[in-house]
Amino acid sequence: MSEKEVLSLARRSATMNLRSKMEITVILLAFVIIPASGVIPDMAKTTAKLRRLAELPFQLTKSVTYRDKFPKTNKFDYIVVGSGPSGCVIANRLTADDSTSVLLIEAGKEDNMITDIPLLNPLISLTGWSWNYDTVPTNDTCLGMTHERCPWPSGKGPGGGTILNAMIWTRGNPLDYDRWAQMGLAGWSYEELLPYFKRSENTRIAELSGSEYHGRGGPLSIEYPPFRTRLSRDYINAGKSYGFQEVDYNDPRSHIGFGKIQLSMEDGERMTSATAFIKPILNRPNLSVTMDSRVIKILIDPKTKAAYGVRYVRKGKEYDVFARKEVIVSAGAFGSPHLLLLSGIGPARHLRDVGIRPIVDLPVGENLMEHQGMHGLTFTIDTADGILLTDLLENIVPVSATYVGKNRGVLTSPGCEVISYVRTKYANLTMPADTVPDVELLFISGGMQTDDGRLFRKSFGISDELYDYTYKPHEGRFAFSIWPMLMYPRSRGRVRLKDDNPLSKPIIDHGFFTDPQNVDMLTLIEGIKIAVMLAKTPPLRKYGADLVKTPFPNCRHIQFGSDEYWECAVRTMSTQFHHQSGTCAMGSVVDSRLRVIGVQGLRVADASVIPTIPGAHIQAAAYMIGEKAADLIREDVFYNNIIR
Ligand SMILES: Cc1cc2nc3c(=O)[nH]c(=O)nc-3n(C[C@H](O)[C@H](O)[C@H](O)COP(=O)(O)OP(=O)(O)OC[C@H]3O[C@@H](n4cnc5c(N)ncnc54)[C@H](O)[C@@H]3O)c2cc1C
C-alpha cells in the first residue's frame, strides 16, 4: 500500500467516528504491516516476544469489557468453567432466574473488533486466542508438518472456539443423534434435541424463513455471508452436473447435495457465543465473570466425593471459589478432560503414573474424535476470481472501507463458501441409510499458496520443505480449494497428562487412521477423487481449473493421482477440522444428565460429552449441549426441591 493511499484513507477517516478510525488503523496494521513484515508467529519458532508483537494491534481496540463483572464474593450457586458455546449458553440461561448466581471463569483474555473480522480466522488461530496445541508424532501421519506434529488450535477467550472458528453452521443428520438415544442416552434423540438447536438460533436467511428446521428469535444470528465469489456459484453448478441438488443441508430431508454456507455471523461480522449470550446480559447482578483466569483444580471432598468449588490462577495469584449447588465444566474437549484428570478424575493407573491421587476411576481423555481431512487440493485458475492476498493488499483501502462502512466485501468471508455432502462407495459400511452422506467437501475460494505462504501454511503447520516444493511455484495465481472431510471417522485418539503441573499442555495422541479396517483412509481417498472430478466439470473448467500436480516431496516416487499417491498425500498433509470431541463421553464419563459418574455436584457440558461424533462441524452441537444442560440443571433443582 502506498503512502498516498494511507494518507487518503486517513483523510477519509477524519469524517468517521473514533471507533471506525481505530478499526481502520487496526485493519491496516493487521493486513499490511504484520503480513508484510512476516511477523506472524511460526508455531515452532515464535518467541513470546514476537507473539506479543503480533498481537499488539489486536490490543488496541476493545468492543466489550468484562472487567466490571469481576467477582465480589467467593460463593455462587453455580460455577461455570470455560466460556465456549456451551459455557456461555449455560451462564445465560441459569442467570435468567435472578435468584440464581453464576460465576463464569475463562482462561483467555478479552476479544475485540479485529477478532470479529471473518476473513482473519486463520490469523487469530496463531495468536494467544488459541491454546496452540499440537499432536504427538506417529511416523505415519502429519509427515509434511513441521516436526511431524499437526497443530491443533483450540479457542481461548470469551466465546472459546467461536472466537476463531470459521463460523460454519451445520447440525448433521438426525441419525447422528438417534444413535445416541439408541445407546441408552435418554432425551438425546434428534426429535428431542431439535428444539434445543433452534432455541439458540436467530436465522436471518430469507429463503429459509418458512423452514421448521431453523430457529428464529434466539440470541445467535445465522446468516449467509454478504460476500461470495462467482466461483462458488459455479461450484454448485459443478455439483448439479453430477446430479446433485442445491440444498439446505440443515434440513434433514435434503442432507446430501450442495449448499451455500450458513454461518454464525451478524451483519457480516463474527458472532461469538460471548457476543450472543454474555454481552447482552452483562447488566445482570447475579452474573459474575472473570477472564484471564485459569482453573487449575476442581475442589472435591475425597471422602464424600462431592465437588464444592474450584481453584483458579489469575495474574499469578490463586483464588478458591465455592459452589453452593454445582460446578459445571465447559472447558472444551481438551480443557475439560485436562481439568478432570488434574483433579483426580480419570484412569487411575495413568493418574498414579503422573503422581495424582485418583478420586474416581473413569475413562476421561479416551475416545478423542475428530473429522480428518486433507487440505492439499488446490486448483489454480486462469481468471481473477477467488481471494488472492496480493490483490487484496492492493485494494486494502476500498476493501477496509467497505467492511467498516457497510459490513460488506471480502473481509466478511470466512474463505469457505459452499458445503457439499456426498456418499462414497464405502458409505454403507458406516451409515447404511442412503440419505446420509459420509464425506463433506468444503469449497474454499483460495488455495494453499494464494496468501503467498503467509497464513494458511502456518496455521496448518506445513513444513517449509513441503510448501516450497509443492506450492511456492504457483504463488501469484488465483486458485480455489476443495477440502474433503471424513464425516464419521472410526479412529479414536486420546488426551493424557504430561505431568501433574496444571500449566503443562496435555499430550494429544490424535489416533488418525488407526481403525483396523482402514475404512477412514479408503473413504477419504474416495472423497478426494470426487473433489478432483468436480473440478473437471464444464462449470469449473471454464475458469481453467487445474489441480496443482506438483507432488508432495515425500510422495514424488508414487504415480500422481493413484490411490497410493492419495494415501501418501493424506499421511503427509493430515489435516483436521478442529472438531475435537468425545473425551468425557456420555455413557462412560458422564451420565445422560451430564453428571460426572461417581462425583456429586459436578457436571461436564461441552463438546467433550459427545459420545459419537455427528457428521457436522461441532459448534451447533456445542450450543445445543449448553441449552440442554441448562434445562437438565434446572429440572434437577426442581425435582430435588419437590422430594425434599
Ligand atoms: C480454528 C477452529 C476452527 C473451527 N471452525 C469451526 C466451524 O467453522 N464450525 C463449527 O461448527 N465448529 C468449528 N470449530 C469448532 C468449534 O468452535 C468448537 O467445536 C466449539 O467451540 C466447542 O465448544 P465447547 O463449548 O465445547 O468448548 P470451547 O469452544 O473449546 O470452549 C472452552 C473454553 O474453556 C476455556 N478453558 C479451557 N480450560 C480452561 C481452564 N482450565 N480454566 C478456564 N477456562 C478454560 C477455553 O479457553 C475456552 O474458552 C472450529 C474450532 C477451531 C479451533
Tell me the best of 619, 623, 625, 627 to mutate to test the pocket of ligand 1, counting ligand atoms within 8 Å of each CB and taking the most.
619
Q: What is the pLDDT of residue 512?
A: 97
Q: What is the pLDDT of residue 409?
A: 95
CB of residue 337 inside a 6 A radius of ligand 1: no
**Is residue 147 among the annotated active site residues?**
no
What is the distance in A from the centroid of ligand 1 to the CA of 155?
Answer: 5
CB of residue 105 inside a 6 A radius of ligand 1: yes
Closest protein CA for atom 17 of ligand 1: 161
Tell me the C-alpha distance between 283 and 285, whole Å: 6
Q: How high is the ipTM of this complex?
A: 0.99
Report the sign of the C-alpha dihedral through residues 382, 387, 389, 395, in that order. Answer: positive
pLDDT band at 38 (very low <50, low <70, confident <90, very high): very low
Cβ-contact 253, 191 below 8 angstroms: no
Q: Report the largest interatomic distance among the alpha carbons of the chain, rounded to a whole angstrom.
A: 75
What is the distance in A from the centroid of ligand 1 to the CA of 251?
Answer: 25
Q: What is the pLDDT of residue 515?
A: 96
Closest protein CA for atom 3 of ligand 1: 165
pLDDT band at 390 (very low <50, low <70, confident <90, very high): confident
Q: What is the pLDDT of residue 124?
A: 92
Residue 642 has pLDDT above 50, yes or no: yes
Tell me the C-alpha distance between 97 and 79, whole Å: 15
Tell me the best of 579, 624, 625 to mutate to test the pocket of ligand 1, counting ligand atoms within 8 Å of each CB and taking the most.
579
Conformational region of residue 582, where left means phi above 0, alpha means psi within -120 to 50, and beta covers everything else: left
Catalytic-role residue among 255, 371, 578, 579: 579
> Cα 300 to chain center, whole Å?
31
Closest C-alpha to 571, from 136, 137, 144: 144
Closest protein CA for atom 27 of ligand 1: 332
Residue 26 has pLDDT above 70, yes or no: no
Closest protein CA for atom 13 of ligand 1: 165
Q: What is the pLDDT of residue 114?
A: 87
3-state secondary structure 78-94: EEEECCCHHHHHHHHHH
Average pLDDT over residues 220-230: 97
**369 to each of 349, 419, 578, 609, how far by Cα in Å?**
22, 21, 10, 11
Better-predicted residue by pLDDT, 644 or 605: 605
Cβ-contact 94, 245 below 8 angstroms: no
Q: Tens of pLDDT along 278-294?
A: 999 999 999 999 999 99
Q: What is the pLDDT of residue 29?
A: 52
What is the distance in A from the centroid of ligand 1 to the CA of 564?
Answer: 35
CA geometry: angle at 493 spanning 531 and 517, to 5°? 60
What is the distance in A from the centroid of ligand 1 to the CA of 154?
Answer: 6
Closest protein CA for atom 41 of ligand 1: 295
Q: What is the pLDDT of residue 432?
A: 83
pLDDT more than 70, % of the chain: 90
Q: What is the pLDDT of residue 12?
A: 44
Residue type, position 482, single letter: I
What is the distance in A from the centroid of ligand 1 to the CA of 333?
Answer: 8
Average pLDDT, the chain: 92
Q: Tens of pLDDT along 607-627?
A: 999 999 999 999 999 999 999
Residue 641 has pLDDT above 80, yes or no: no
HSE-CB of 318 using CA atoms within 13 angstroms: 6
Residue 44 has pLDDT above 70, yes or no: no
Tell me the C-alpha distance between 8 and 11, whole Å: 5
Q: Tens of pLDDT along 262-277?
A: 999 999 999 999 999 9
pLDDT band at 39 (very low <50, low <70, confident <90, very high): very low
Q: What is the pLDDT of residue 638?
A: 80
